[in-house]
Amino acid sequence: MANRKIWLGILVMVLVFGMTVVGCDNGSGNSGSDGNDNPFIGTWTGTDVDGDLVTLVCTASTWILTTDYGLNETGTYTYSGNTATIRQGSTTLGTATLSGSTLTVTGSGIPYTPYTLTK
C-alpha cells in the first residue's frame, strides 16, 4: 500500500506539471454546435480495483485524478469516439473507454486500474 501511494504521489506531481504546461485551451478544441460534444468532459466518480474512491475531472483536454487516500494526479488526453488516450507529458498512461454512462479507465501506467466511474 505504501509503495502504491508513493507511485501515485509521483504521478500526481507529474500531472500537476503537465497541467501547468498544457492547461490552457487554445480554442481549437472538440466542440460542436452546442460548444461541447466531448463526452469525457465532466466529473466522474467511482472506485479503483481495491474499492478506494476515485474522482476524475475532465476538461476539454486535461484531467485531474484524486483518490480518498490523498492522490492528486493531472495530465492531458485526446479522444476519438468513445476512447480517450490518457497522458502525462509525452508518456501514455492508459485509456478511458465510455460505454453508456460508465467510464472504464485502464492502463499499465495508472495504478490500481481498472477504475469504474460514472458522471
Q: Where are the domains of the chain?
A: 2-23+41-110
Closest listed residue to residue 84, CA positions, set 67, 111, 59, 66: 59
pLDDT of residue 103: 96
- Please provide the size of the chain in residues: 119
Distance CA(26)–CA(3), nearest Å, equals 37
Provide the pLDDT for residue 30: 44
| Calpha distance 24→37 (Å, rounded) | 18
Q: Please list the rounded mean pLDDT of every run of 10 residues in the chain (119 residues).
A: 73 65 49 64 94 95 91 93 95 95 91 90
Rounded to a whole number of angstroms, the distance between the first and last alpha carbons of the chain is: 27
Instruction: Specify whether the CB–CB gap between 61 and 74 falls below 8 A.
Output: no
Quick one: fold of 2-23+41-110?
Answer: Lipocalin (2.40.128)
Q: Which three cell numbers stand for residue 91?
A: 508518456
